[in-house]
Amino acid sequence: MTDKVDAATQTMIDNLEKNSGKSLNEWVAIARASGFEKHGQIVNFLKSEHGFTHGFANLVAAYARESAAILHNDDDLVTGQYSGKEALRPIYDALITAISQFGDDVEISPKKAYVSLRRNKQFGLIQPSTKTRVDVGLNLDGDVIGGRLEKSGSFNSMVSHRVRLTSVDEVNDALIGWLRQAYDQA
């Protein structure tokens, strides 16, 4: 039964683009930009303003609300990590800005206690470990250590190395270089 539902949904998605000249993602962006948040409001907007049939309006509304919920949930997870540790948030923001420049295949995946950094596999993580410190975990081949780069030890078994940060100034070329190396190895 699920295969039939998936096939029917895919047919609707294909027909939406064929009939309207816009992809599902384009319509989701239009629906989200409308400012309407409730499913019924989005359906009514698409029907009245864009001449959608109920079926197509329902499809776009479902996807628009789903994508909004996913984005909202990720923001909530990161906000929760830095609750009571707000002074550390600029460190996280600086790291994410730098890591986002590595390539389109970087996946930034917030969890409850940390943010996973993935490519083909996890190459690192960012975790506010205390009220005064953010730890950056890295998966690096070999025994690369020195200066601020140390073996992860008991910090987190999902990474091989760690760098401890207490200031946004410590998000420097050396750290970004280690992150880039881990990304390239992933």
- Sequence length of the chain is 186
pLDDT interval class at 127 (50, 70, 90): very high
pLDDT digits over 4-62, tens only?
446 667 788 888 889 999 988 889 889 888 888 888 899 899 999 999 988 888 888 88
pLDDT interval class at 69 (50, 70, 90): low
What is the reported pLDDT for 108? 87
Instruction: State the Cα–Cα distance between residues 160 and 142, nearest whole angstrom.
Output: 9
What is the reported pLDDT for 4? 47
Instruction: State the Cα–Cα distance between residues 114 and 128, nearest whole angstrom.
Output: 7
Provide mean pLDDT across the span 158-174.
94
- With a CB cutoff of 8 Å and minimum separation 6, the contacts of 181 are 138, 140, 144
The answer to whether residue 41 is domain-embedded is: yes
Residue 97: pLDDT above 60?
A: yes
- Please give the tally of structural domains in the chain: 2
Which of 19, 44, 75 terminates a domain? The answer is 75
Q: 58 and 9 in contact (C-beta within 8 Å)?
A: no
The answer to whether residue 90 is domain-embedded is: yes
- Whether residue 172 sits in one domain with residue 92: yes
- Whether residue 157 sits in one domain with residue 112: yes
What is the reported pLDDT for 168? 95
Instruction: State the Cα–Cα distance between residues 120 and 160, nearest whole angstrom.
Output: 17
What is the reported pLDDT for 72? 54
- Whether residue 153 sits in one domain with residue 124: yes
Residue 88: pLDDT above 90?
A: yes
Provide mean pLDDT across the span 108-128.
92
What is the reported pLDDT for 157? 81
DSSP characters over the chain: -HHHHHHHHHHHHHHHHHHHSS-HHHHHHHHHHT---SHHHHHHHHHHHH---HHHHHHHHHHHHHHHHHHHHHHHHHHHHTTT-GGGHHHHHHHHHHHTTS-TT-EEEE-SS-EEEESSSEEEEEEE-SSS-EEEEE--SS---BTTBEE-TTS-TT-SEEEEESSGGG--HHHHHHHHHHHHH-
- Whether residue 148 sits in one domain with residue 173: yes
- Whether residue 146 sits in one domain with residue 70: no
- Whether residue 105 sits in one domain with residue 181: yes
pLDDT interval class at 67 (50, 70, 90): low
Provide mean pLDDT across the span 108-122.
90
Average model confidence (pLDDT) across the chain: 86
- Whether residue 40 sits in one domain with residue 59: yes
The answer to whether residue 80 is domain-embedded is: no
Domain that holds residue 56: 2-75
- Whether residue 120 sits in one domain with residue 53: no
Provide mean pLDDT across the span 170-186.
94
What is the reported pLDDT for 58? 81
79: closest CA among 89, 66, 91? 89
Q: What is the CA angle 180-185-186, rounded to 5?
A: 100
